Amino acid sequence: MSTNLIQFTPQVQVAEPPPTCQELGRVTREYVSAYQRGRIHNSRLIRGETRCLVANFNGAIPVGRTITTANWYCLQPYAVAMSNAQITPDGGTTQVMIAAQSQGPCTIKVVATLDNGEQYTQLFRIMVRGFPWFVGENVPPIGPYQLTVTA
């Protein structure tokens, strides 16, 4: 009598974490400059869009420095709501999800604190273009004035 040996390797699918912001264009991505510190990034969004707002500080901070804390501030949270602030694993970029809610301007500021205590600021000006509300759309709630994330 012969014995057949069967080997079985189970395959388990692990749920992946939700994807981080992957803004492809320059609409809501700012490459922060070490030389033009007063630059304000301007964006136009359509009401109802949810996008990633990215501040890439790699061009402004010294090599080897990393962001330890990022404070995001929004002056008009009725126009744009912020959520899910993050610092990327490389420590040079911080990002937040924004939802364009009501027509009008919005000013957002991020203050990045580095591992040596230095602070760098980037300003964003977002203009939300309004369109009529369609049947079945819900008016979104007003977003927060501030979000803080720590690495």
Span 75-124, pLDDT tens digits: 999 999 999 999 999 999 999 999 999 899 999 999 999 999 999 999 99
What is the identity of the amino acid at 96? V
Q: Where are the domains positioned within the chain?
A: 29-131
| pTM over cut 0.75 | yes
Whether 89 and 117 have beta carbons less than 8 Å apart is answered as no
Q: What is the mean pLDDT of residues 10-22?
A: 52
CB neighbours of 52 closer than 8 A, spacing ≥ 6? 21, 22, 23, 28, 29, 95, 96, 97, 98
DSSP-derived 3-state class of residue 121: strand
Which of 56, 65, 63, 68 lies closest to 124 in space, CA to CA? Answer: 56
Question: CA 105, CA 6: separation in Å to the nearest integer?
Answer: 66
Tell me the sheet residues that pair with 31. 56
Nearest to 91 by CA among 65, 111, 72: 65
* pLDDT for the residue 120: 95
The values of phi and psi at residue 83, to 5°, are: -160, 165
Distance CA 102, CA 82 (A): 13
For residue 127, pLDDT over 70 is answered with: yes
* Per-range mean pLDDT, top range of 6-10, 85-89, 141-145: 85-89
Query: Which contiguous run of DSSP H or E holds residue 104?
Result: strand 104-114
Q: 3-state class of 47 per DSSP?
A: coil
Q: Which residues are within 8 A (CB) of 62 and not within 5 positions of it... i.e. 6 or more apart?
A: none
Pick the CATH number of 29-131 from 2.60.120.380, 2.60.40.10, 2.60.40.1150, 3.40.50.300: 2.60.40.10
